[in-house]
């Protein structure tokens, strides 16, 4: 059986960079690591991602329609990619997973918690990550990094400070679970990578 690890955090927290560095480190040690992301990860999922990120669609997403699209992407991703990879003994590193739904849709959009929990379990076949790495940065820092990046903010990135404060608070609550490993996202890239590597080795090797 493989290992399933997810990366979570605010916009521009550095999780994609860290996911990539961990994958490279694992491969250098001879492990079969795959990198994937949500929403997305499959052709169908990437199409759903485009729809979800786009601010160009006419009309506003209802929060129920939005959560169902994230879960649709996840269901496809689990069946087509993640579950087969885990069964084949691979290490799956996934950029966002069901915790994103819990905090963005459940906490920040206030979708009913029982519904979120049921839909998360349904889409993921009840498979919970073996470890979740949370890169913690504050709302101000997240906004500063989005501005520095220069690219136009997508639909969700365009939400206000109040929305993202709820996202951050939601993550901090979830992170009390032992599945989580929280790293201060304000440290240097190398320092964060070192901490993640050490914790991964401690938990699995």
- Asked whether position 166 contacts ligand TMP by CB under 6 A, the answer is no
Cβ closest to ligand TMP, residue 33 vs residue 156: 156
Cβ burial 23-58 (10 Å sphere, 16+ → b, else e): bebbeeeebebbbbbbbbbbeebeebbeebeeeeee
Among 6, 100, 124, 182, binds ligand TMP (CB under 6 A): 100
> In which region does residue 66 sit, left (phi positive, over 0), alpha (psi from -120 to 50) or beta (all else)?
alpha
Task: Using the minimum distance from each CB to ligand TMP, give the nearer residue, 109 or 193.
Answer: 109
Q: For the window 61-80, what string marks contact with ligand TMP as x by the rule CB under 6 A? A: ---------x----------
Determine the distance from the C-alpha atom of residue 83 to the mean position of all C-alpha atoms in its chain, rounded to a whole number. 17
Q: Which CB, 4 or 104, lies closer to ligand TMP?
A: 104
Q: Which of 3, 4, 33, 104 binds ligand TMP (CB under 6 A)?
A: 104
Burial 166-198 (b: 16+ CB within 10 A, else e): bbbebbeebbeeeebbbbebeeeeeebbebbee
Among 96, 166, 168, 193, binds ligand TMP (CB under 6 A): 96
Q: Which of residues 21-40 bind ligand TMP (CB under 6 A)?
A: 37-39
Q: Which residues bind ligand TMP (CB under 6 A)?
A: 11, 37-39, 70, 95-96, 100-101, 104-105, 156-157
């Amino acid at each position: 059986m493989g290992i399933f690890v997810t990366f979570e955090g605010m916009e521009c927290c550095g999780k994609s960079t860290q996911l990539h560095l961990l994958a490279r480190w694992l491969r250098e040690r001879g492990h079969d690591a795959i990198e994937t992301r949500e929403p997305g990860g499959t052709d169908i999922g990437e199409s759903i991602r485009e729809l979800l990120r786009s601010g160009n669609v006419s009309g506003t997403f209802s929060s129920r329609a939005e959560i169902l699209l994230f879960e649709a992407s996840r269901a496809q991703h689990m069946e087509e990619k993640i579950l087969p990879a885990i069964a084949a003994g691979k290490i799956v590193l996934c950029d966002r997973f069901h915790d994103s739904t819990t905090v963005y849709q459940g906490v920040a959009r206030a979708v009913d918690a029982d519904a979120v929990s049921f839909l998360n379990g349904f889409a993921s076949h009840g498979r919970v990550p073996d470890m979740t790495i949370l890169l913690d940065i504050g709302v101000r820092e997240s906004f500063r990094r989005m501005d520095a990046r220069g690219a136009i903010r997508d639909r969700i990135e365009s939400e206000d400070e109040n929305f993202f404060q709820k996202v951050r608070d939601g993550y901090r609550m979830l992170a009390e679970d032992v599945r989580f490993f929280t790293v201060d996202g304000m440290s240097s890239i190398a320092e964060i990578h070192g901490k993640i590597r050490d914790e991964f080795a401690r938990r699995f090797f």
